[in-house]
């Protein structure tokens, strides 16, 4: 896993948008506030000299962040929306996506009195801290995690770990099949998972709850040791998972 410096050139080798959900609403003396969770999966690379690259993320990482939107309470009715390509103040078309103000009426796009504008980007931990006191309506992180059940996280990551060394030992396969049966998956589900894992099409996924992460990590370690041999590839994957998801 590569370290980053301020002037490093960074690109995304893989980038997926997994889920967008409205999870909270609140109000201040001047603004309405909306909280929207964005779950994405990505793998970053560092661009080096002589057309070389270095992986920043050792695998495809999943992350959830919260966009905080605000709109003035007394802003009045808008005539358009930036998200539909029109000026909220006059309804004129947004001709330049990089412009900060309307070319027709001169109104600044980020004023927030006619349309929702992004105020901040926060972590799920920060959202949880403020959701209990500053919101009129909110969804707890546990409910957000529940959309993707803990057994789904565990099954996905177990398939990743047993495929890390490039082979499926018979005992590893038996463990995966036993776990799938215990979790209530049908037998016709497991074979496609083996194929996806072998071809590198699965990514590590983790819930927001740390205790659930620790439980899933423990299951991953058990899966890696199913053949009584922790390969260097499996060991590295486990170490990287711990650094990315359990180091804080």
**28-49 pLDDT, tens per residue?**
889 989 999 999 989 899 998 8
Would strands 61-72 and 117-123 be described as parallel, antiparallel, or unpaired? antiparallel
- Among residues 12, 37, 14, the alpha carbon closest in space to that of 142 is found at 37
Residues 41 and 135 in one domain: yes
Residues 6+ apart with CB under 8 A from 43: 12, 13, 14, 55, 56, 57, 59, 60, 61
Residue found by looking up tokens 């037998």 in the block: 187
pLDDT at 75 over 90: no
Indicate whether 12 pLDDT > 60.
yes
The better pLDDT of the pair 1, 199 is held by: 199
Do 172 and 240 lie in one domain? The reply is yes
Mean pLDDT of the chain: 83
Kindly report the length of the chain: 248
pLDDT confidence tier of residue 119, bands split at 50, 70 and 90? very high
Q: Is residue 2 part of a domain?
A: no
> pLDDT grade, residue 77 (50/70/90)?
confident
- Contacts of residue 206, Cβ cutoff 8 Å, sequence gap at least 6: 62, 153, 157, 212, 213, 216, 245
Strand partners, 120: 68
Quick check: 124 pLDDT over 90?
A: no
**Would 1 be classed as within a structural domain?**
no
DSSP type of residue 50: G
> 16 and 136, same structural domain?
yes
- Give the domain-ending residue among 93, 120, 146: 146
Asked, for residue 136, whether it belongs to a domain, the answer is yes
Q: Greater confidence, 142 or 122?
A: 122
Tell the burial category of 178 from Cβ atoms under 10 Å away from its Cβ (0-12, 13-18, 19+).
exposed
Q: Domain end: 87, 107, 127, which one?
A: 107
Taking only the tens place, the pLDDT of each residue in 142-171 is 555 554 577 888 888 888 887 777 777 787
In a shared domain, residues 95 and 165? no
Helix (H) or strand (E) holding 12: strand 9-27
Please tell me whether residues 175 and 225 are part of one structural domain: yes
Q: Are residues 43 and 121 in the same domain?
A: yes
Q: Is the pLDDT of residue 4 over 90?
A: no
Residue 34: CB partners within 8 Å, gap ≥ 6? 22, 24, 25, 68, 69, 70, 71, 116
In a domain, 117, yes or no: yes
* pTM for this model (two decimals): 0.69
Question: In b/e form, how buried is each residue of 31-59, taking b as 16+ CB within 10 angstroms?
Answer: bbbbbbbebbbbbbbbeeeeeeeeebbbb
| Same domain, residue pair 211 and 170 | yes
Report the distance separating Cα 181 and Cα 75, nearest Å.
Answer: 56
214 and 156 share one domain: yes
Q: Are residues 130 and 214 in the same domain?
A: no
Same domain, 126 and 177: no
Chain position carrying tokens 């396969």: 173
Q: Indicate if 59 and 84 belong to the same structural domain.
A: no
Q: Check: CB of residue 223 under 8 Å from CB of residue 158.
A: yes
Last-in-domain residue among 127, 146, 165: 146
Residue 18 lies in domain? 9-74+112-146
Q: For residues 61 and 245, what is the distance between their CA atoms, to the nearest angstrom?
A: 9
In a domain, 44, yes or no: yes
Total number of domains in the chain: 3
Same structural domain for residues 129 and 18? yes
Would residue 122 count as lying in a domain?
A: yes
Least confident of 137-146, 175-184, 230-239: 137-146
Is residue 158 a part of any domain in this protein? yes
Q: Which range (45-54, 122-131, 163-172, 238-247) has the least confidence?
A: 163-172
Q: Identify the pLDDT of residue 66.
A: 94
Task: Judge whether residue 130 has pLDDT over 60.
Answer: yes
1 contacts: CB under 8 Å, gap ≥ 6: 55, 56, 57, 58, 240, 243
Please give the Cα distance from 223 to 176 (Å, whole number). 8
For residue 3, tell me if it sits in a domain. no
Region of 106 (left: φ > 0; alpha: ψ -120 to 50; beta: rest) is: left
């Amino acid at each position: 896993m590569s370290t980053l410096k301020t002037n490093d050139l960074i690109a995304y080798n893989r980038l997926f948008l997994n889920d967008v959900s409205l999870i909270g609403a609140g109000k201040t003396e001047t603004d309405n506030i909306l909280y929207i969770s964005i779950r994405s999966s990505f793998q970053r690379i560092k661009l080096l000299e002589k057309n070389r690259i270095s992986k920043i993320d050792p695998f495809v990482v999943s992350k959830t962040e919260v966009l905080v939107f605000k709109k003035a309470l007394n802003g009045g009715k808008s005539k358009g929306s930036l998200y539909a390509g029109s000026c909220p103040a006059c309804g004129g078309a947004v001709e330049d996506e990089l412009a900060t103000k309307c070319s027709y009426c001169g109104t600044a796009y980020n004023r927030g009195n006619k349309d929702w504008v992004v105020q901040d980007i926060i972590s799920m931990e920060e959202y949880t801290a403020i959701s209990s006191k500053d919101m009129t309506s909110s969804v707890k992180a546990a409910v957000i995690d529940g959309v993707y059940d803990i057994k789904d996280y565990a099954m996905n990551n177990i398939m990743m770990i047993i495929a890390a060394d490039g082979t499926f030992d018979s005992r590893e396969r038996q463990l995966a099949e036993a776990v799938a049966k215990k979790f209530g998956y049908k037998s016709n589900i497991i074979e496609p998972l083996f194929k996806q894992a072998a071809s590198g099409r699965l990514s590590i996924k983790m819930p927001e709850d740390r205790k659930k992460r620790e439980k899933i990590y423990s299951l991953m370690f058990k899966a890696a040791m199913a053949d009584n041999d922790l390969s260097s590839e499996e060991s590295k994957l486990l170490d990287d998972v711990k650094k990315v998801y359990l180091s804080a």
